[in-house]
Amino acid sequence: MRNTSDDRGDMSLTLHQHPLASFCHKVLIALYENGTAFDKVLVDLGDPASADAFRALWPLGKMPVLHDAARGATVPETSIIIEYLDLHHPGRLRMIPEDPEAALQVRLWDRFFDLHVSDPMQTIVLDRIRPDDGKDPHGVAAARAALDVAYALIDRQVANREWATGDAFTMADCSATPALFYAGIVHPFDDRYAAVAAYFERLIARPSARRVLAEAQPYFRFFPYRDAMPERFLRVDAQT
């Protein structure tokens, strides 16, 4: 599928991804924010042909992966993909600030959302689909405790900021959007985290995030916590 919302020339970019995967959402948001033209390849790891083709591109089999045919580059890892786009295919928004100190803060909070929100969220999600004799209640409890610590730190960080590191939307916010979307379903924000909840609403109000959620909707039925998903996320209009 070719995305032509703001075609910046034939850049020969292809993103190998799945619409349900949170880390794919992170890169898609960066691409949509800048109206970058790219192709999508849907990776279905449950299909041997799709899985084999993807692992031939990236043997670790972790999504997403960006391929830049014009430069002969295969780029894995979400943060590296976004930095690569900033460097070689810049758009109207810089995802990494030019100022070195500001860039450090963006990278810090990008890693924070990936490691301290997305990772424990995935621990909780994966435990739900384990067989009864393979459940890890202690691991889930630890993941929920870790999310509470993370929420408290995020709440303090965004209390007086529009976005994760200041007035500009950056890679850190690309990371925060899917992390808080899925984490908020499996471990909802309570009254202690009002600033987190308000920040999340600002994130999902952006057209890029709405587009990603609208594209993911057909796949939400496969999400193990589908029963806990707020109804509003099942009817997101990307054009609203």
Q: pLDDT by residue (tens digit) across 138-193?
A: 999 999 999 999 999 999 999 999 999 999 999 999 999 999 999 999 999 999 99
Residues 68 and 37 sit within 8 Å (Cβ to Cβ): no
| Percent over 70 (pLDDT), the chain | 94
The DSSP string of 47-62 is: SHHHHHHHHHH-TT-P
Residues 180 and 20 sit within 8 Å (Cβ to Cβ): no
pLDDT > 80? residue 94: yes
Task: Tell me which architecture the domain covering 100-206 has in CATH.
Answer: Up-down Bundle (1.20)
pTM, entire model: 0.93
pLDDT > 50? residue 2: no
Residue recorded with tokens 């509003």: 232
Class of domain 2-88: alpha beta
Residue 12 CA, chain-centre distance (Å), reads 22
Mean pLDDT of the chain: 94
Q: What is the gyration radius of the CA atoms in the chain, in angstroms?
A: 18
2-88 and 100-206 share one fold: no
Q: pLDDT by residue (tens digit) across 19-57?
A: 999 999 999 999 999 999 999 999 999 999 999 999 999
Alpha-carbon distance of 240 to 204, in angstroms, equals 11
Residues 6 or more apart in contact with residue 81 via CB below 8 angstroms: 27, 30, 64, 65, 66, 75
Residue recorded with tokens 């990307």: 238
pLDDT > 90? residue 11: no
Confidence of residue 236 (pLDDT cuts 50, 70, 90): confident
Task: Provide the residue ranges of all domains of the chain, joining segments of one domain with +.
Answer: 2-88, 100-206
List % helix, strand, coil for the chain (3-state, nearest 5).
60, 10, 30
